[in-house]
Amino acid sequence: MSSLPIYLLSIETTGELCGICLHEVSTKTLMCQYTIYKKHMHDYMLAELVRRILLDFSLQSKDIQYLSVSEGPGSFTGIRIGMSFAKGWCFESSTTLISVPTLSAIAKKSQAYYQGGWTHIAATQYSHSDLCYIQLFDFRTLNPIALPTLLPIMDANNLIHEDTIVSGSATHLLHNGHKAFDFLHQPNQVMVAEYALDMIKAGLISDDMSAESTYYSEFLPK
């Protein structure tokens, strides 16, 4: 008798895009993904994208065993929308929340597309004005070298050397190091899902009500 599929729904709202995807956990199969590329649509479209993916696969909320959400750093409003939606879902259901550190997910995806010979990965997120979030990782182990830091672009450049792969949404503003492939210049829901799948396998899952958004800076009205 075959076992029922185990589903992971993943959300990315920390950057410009709003995206969700559905995976079958045991096989790590990507079932579907939807992305809205227009800016400032997270609040309007996140719930609708989730409704659509459930409808298209004839699923109900109780059929989703895991929900992973990108925790930041990134857009203050986007992070808040994604985390609030995820916590609300898990509070009302038996779904387990997996809070994914965004820059770690970017670094993991970046490592997968490069062979040895590199020392570090600089995962970045553009913030505003001339500021970006940056976090350095050991290329081989993916261990973080430091916590994510919000820095002026010039100061972030000083952390990057020739043997560093630069990825994430601030890549185009940074001049040092080796720029990653274009598709690694923006966090997306599949990056979040793939990191979450590894967390599930390793048993590294946070309690749904203890997960916290990762801002690393105070909200500043524009």
Q: Which pLDDT value is given to residue 222?
A: 46
Instruction: List phi, psi (to 5°) of 108.
Output: -60, -45
Cis ω for the linkage preceding 73 (within 30 of 0): yes
Long-range pairs for 134-143: beta carbons < 8 A, 24 or more residues apart:
134/159, 134/170, 135/103, 135/104, 135/107, 136/164, 137/104, 137/107, 139/111, 139/114, 139/165, 140/116, 142/104, 142/107, 142/108, 142/111
Domain 103-184 has CATH 3.30.420.200: yes
Q: 7-101+187-202 and 103-184: same fold?
A: yes
Token digits for 57?
């696969």
Q: Which pLDDT value is given to residue 1?
A: 45
Give the chain as a 3 state SS string.
CCCCCCEEEEEECCCCCEEEEEEECCCCEEEEEEEECCCCCHHHHHHHHHHHHHHHCCCCHHHEEEEEEECCCCCHHHHHHHHHHHHHHHHCCCCEEEEECHHHHHHHHHHHCCCCCCCEEEEEEEEECCEEEEEEEECCCCCECCCCEEEEHHHHHCCCCCCEEEEECCHHHCCCCEECCHHHCCCCHHHHHHHHHHHHHHCCCCCCCCCCCCCCCCCCCC
Q: Which pLDDT value is given to residue 125?
A: 96
167: left (phi over 0), alpha (psi -120 to 50) or beta: beta
Q: Indicate the fold that domain 7-101+187-202 takes in CATH.
A: Nucleotidyltransferase; domain 5 (3.30.420)
Residue segments in the chain with a per-residue pLDDT below the cut of 70: 1-2, 206-222
CB atoms within 10 A of CB 38: 10
pLDDT tens string 212-221: 666 655 544 4
pLDDT tens string 20-61: 999 999 999 999 999 999 988 999 999 999 999 999 999 999
Domain range summary for the chain, segments of one domain joined by +: 7-101+187-202, 103-184
